[in-house]
Homo-oligomer: A and B are copies of this chain.
Amino acid sequence: MISIKVAIFEDNKHLRESLYYLVNGTDGFTCTGAFADSNDLLFKLKRSQPDVVLMDIEMPGMNGIEAVKIIRKQFPGVQVLMQTIFHDDDNIFNAVCAGASGYILKTTSPAGYIDAIKDVYNGGSPMTGSIARRVLDLFQKNIIPAGNNDYQLTPKEKEILQQLVKGKSFKMIADVLGSTYETIRTHMKNIYTKLHVNSNTEAVSKALQEKIV
């Protein structure tokens, strides 16, 4: 039977050893490394050849988030399960951005730890409902500012704006849309008025940031 190889990065000695024994004491799991910091990260990874890395997000020296970035870059196949004490939005956000595959709290039960490790190994992203909610919130706030942006742009105006965002000049836009240069200019004037801007860069900026395009 194959065993899921787990590497542990956790600066707290007690927790690290507890996790070590938990992993090694569970059928189907092997702890191939338990480290107090992520110095010589690549060396440690090459040594332990883990399938799953259990990474403490708060660590002295290189923090867990930096470590995740490196791991994901150098060992794309390795799943990283972040563990943390706090429900810290910034950390969650950064960890998710860095490429963490799961996010659990240190208050998780031993059985929960094992389940989570198994889940990330099988391509899942275990996280508590409350953490998932924060991820969704972050998603909706940071990624989809959406906002109540209704500038009443006509289809033509949106089309022109899209072309502008692509970096096209008025002349080029006139060409691709089969209109005259002057016509495009007229539309642009109307767009400026509707968006309350007064330059092409401002229009592009607003269009992108408010996802009008």
Chain A residues within 8 Å of B, Cβ to Cβ: 96-97, 99-102, 119-120, 122-130, 132-133, 135-136, 139-140, 142-144, 146, 164-167, 169, 197, 199-206, 208-209
Contact = CB atoms under 8 A, between A and B. Distances in A.
B123 A201 contact: no
18 contacts: A96-B136, A96-B140, A97-B146, A120-B129, A123-B130, A124-B128, A124-B129, A125-B133, A127-B132, A132-B132, A139-B139, A164-B201, A167-B197, A201-B201, A204-B204, A204-B205, A205-B208, A208-B208
A42 B209 CA distance: 31
B139 A135 contact: yes
A146 to B, nearest CB: 8
Nearest to A165: B205
A123 B132 contact: no
A112 to B, nearest CB: 12
A144 B139 CA distance: 11
B124 A133 contact: yes
A59 B140 CA distance: 24
A96 B166 CA distance: 27
**Among A99, A122, A133, A169, which residue has the most Cβ atoms of chain B within 10 A?**
A133
A97 B199 CA distance: 30
Nearest to A172: B199
A125 B142 CA distance: 18
Contact of A166 (B129, B169, B200, B205): B205
A167 B124 contact: no
